[in-house]
Structure 1
Amino acid sequence: MCRWAAYRGAPVFIEELVSSPAHSLVAQSHCATMARTTTNADGFGIAWYGDRPDPGRYRDILPAWADCNLMSLARQIRSGLFLAHVRAATHGSTRRDNCHPFVVGNWSFMHNGQIDGFEHLRRRMESELSDDLFRYRTGTTDSELLFLLALQFGLNDKPLEAMAKAAGFVEDLSNDMLGYALLRFTAAFSDGKTLFAVRYATDAKAPTLYAAPVCGGNGHCLVSEPLNDEADTWVEIPDGSTVILNERGMDVALFEPAVNWAARMRKAG
């Protein structure tokens, strides 16, 4: 399983989540404590928002702990909204195009989890994309494809509804083609203004997600694992939840995949 960290609030240096804490994301890349695999060495990436609507991004296939450029960038870049990810590959080879976060326009997305039987579902999932969106399909992961499906289903207009439709579409397709559905899905995504996160799994075993206030309450971070041992600081986000971080603070609500909606729409059409 991968590990990730995301932040929204008053601008901070990226190193405050990625490399400085005792159990930073870089530390988790070689010593994760809440994942099936302790090592997440199949690449890394960061996406950060600044003065322009689309994010900057840096990705590579090196382990995060081995890239001096990452340490330098994290020390120098200050941002009020950023996403960072270290990868343990489940689907897709170790190459830059498969490293998170994925970016299309002003949207960025990263994911921890998997779609069981993805090799059987991939072609049908890709066929759901318009030509305009399919050209952004540069990698081979299930994560990138989930992101593109959410864009296909209306991420620009109704982000959480679109992500529910993407998850529901995968569940429906899995049940139709495989006879079962196993989706584990803990993801963060942003349009540069609001930071969203979802924790969900069909078997109630979603990858972990924690939240904590930072900067004296002027910001919040979302992480796969707590960045330090201050247990009272960290709140575990329940399975089946969505998180919304904006200028008003943090809200947590129920997340439910929109199952059967695609079939109903086709029947109605």
Structure 2
Amino acid sequence: MCRWLAYTGNPIQLEAVLFRAEHSLIDQSLHSRLGQTTTNGDGFGVGWYGNPDEIPFRYRCVHPAWNDINLREAARAVRAPLFVAHIRAATGTPAQETNCHPFRYGRWLFMHNGLIRDFARVRRDLMMSIDPALFAALEGSTDSEVMFFLALTFGLQTAPVLALERMVAVVEEAGHRHGVEHPLNMTVCATDGEQIVAVRYSSETQSRSLFHSTSFRHLRELYPDDARIKAVGDDAYLVLSEPLVDLPGAWEEVPESTAIVARGAVIQHQTFVPVLP
């Protein structure tokens, strides 16, 4: 499938997590330990926030992440307090730039790992549920982008967790109507530069892997000489498909049917329950 991560904390170079870590996202593009596919080479994307009033920046490419020299240069040059990154393994849609995550609308970025099963059968119904005012902003052909625009339709910009719950319910209802037993499997991330919203959910309760960092303040006490931990600050937070380093106590698995909202040092966990709009 895919692998992704989202970071918030002190401004750091993107390369710190994309390249330098022991099991960095670039390493995962070739040697994923927990993904459905070992290799994720159907494109990549990174998104980051600069000034508060600007839309986020993106760099997306259809090349494999491990083989893009410009990505390494950009990751070394860019420092940001909040950024996301995604490596793609396509599930039935073309490897093209418009299908690479993160997707963007205004200040919002969105990433997905998983799939809508039998997407071709339900695609028309789902696209007809998208707000017509948003329709012209659709660029690609993936199920992930449709999920994003459904969430926008149902209020992502004002009540993100509820909007994602509504999106999932609509996808599952359409799937069941077309005879799909388990319509959706997902870990998703949405952010507007001020908060990270991440969800682990699947219709069959066997979701793709998702982890979050534990207290960096605690890790600094355990590993006082680790420069990577010093740089991010006490309130740094990572949500990611696979751990980046093998540090005992550094990561916890996100439970099934759980939503996380990270806003600065405040981290909230809540049960994720799909509900039709």
Q: Establish whether TM, by shorter chain, passes 0.5.
A: yes
Mapped to 1, the partners of 2:6 and 2:20 lie a distance apart of: 15
Shift in Å, 1:76: 1.1
CA distance in 1, matches of 2:155, 2:92: 25
Which residue of 258, 261, 275 maps to 1:241?
A: 258
Per-residue CA distance 1:220-244 (angstroms, 9 max, x = gap): 1111000011132111111111111
Aligned residue runs from structure 1 range 17-166, under 5 A = 17-51=17-51, 52-166=53-167
Aligned to 2:219: none
Are the counterparts in 1 of residues 118 and 180 from structure 2 also a CA contact under 8 Å?
Answer: no
Q: CA deviation at 1:191?
A: 1.0
Q: Deviations over 1:234-268 (max 9, x none)?
A: 1111111111111233222111111xx24xxxxxx
Identity over aligned pairs, percent: 38
Name the counterpart of 1:190.
191
Give yes or no for contact 1:121–1:177 (8 Å, CA) kept in 2. Answer: yes
1:8-23 aligned at under 5 Å gives the runs 8-23=8-23
After the TM superposition, which of the residue ranges 70-79 and 246-255 deviates more from structure 2? Answer: 246-255
- Determine the C-alpha separation between the residues in 2 that align with 1:62 and 1:231: 34
Distance 1:248 1:233 in 2: 17
Residues 8-35 of structure 1: CA deviation (Å, up to 9, x unaligned): 1111111111111010000000100001
Amino acid at match of 1:117: D
User: Cα distance, 1:179 vs. partner?
Assistant: 4.9
1:91–1:140 Cα contact (<8 Å) kept: no
Structure-1 separation of matches of 2:259 and 2:112: 14
Partners of 1:5 and 1:18 within 8 A in 2: no
Q: Which is further off, 102-111 or 122-131?
A: 122-131
Where does 1:189-268 land on structure 2 (aligned, <5 Å)?
Answer: 189-212=190-213, 213=216, 215-258=232-275, 261-262=276-277
Between the aligned partners of 1:257 and 1:60, the Cα distance in structure 2 is: 33
Distance in 1 of aligned mates of 2:248 and 2:145: 33
Query: 1:218 Cα shift?
Result: 2.4
SS at the partner of 1:231?
coil
What secondary structure sits across from 1:122 in the alignment? helix
Structure 1: how far apart are the matches of 2:234 and 2:112?
26
| Structure 2 unmatched ranges of 5 or more | 217-228
Tell me the SS of whatever aligns to 2:59: strand
- For residues 116-171 of structure 1, give each alpha carbon's deviation from its aligned partner in whole angstroms, at most 9, with x where no partner exists: 11110001111112222111111010000000000001111111100100001001
Aligned length: 260
Cα distance in 1, alignment partners of residues 239 and 78 from structure 2: 19
| Separation in 2, partners of 1:36, 1:174 | 22
Give the corresponding residue for 1:265.
Answer: none
Q: Could you tell me how far 1:91 is from its partner in structure 2?
A: 3.2
Equivalent position SS for 1:205: coil
Question: For residues 104 and 79 of structure 2, what CA distance do their matches in structure 1 show?
Answer: 19
Task: Tell me which moved more, 215-224 or 117-126.
Answer: 215-224
Counterpart amino acid of residue 14 in structure 1: L
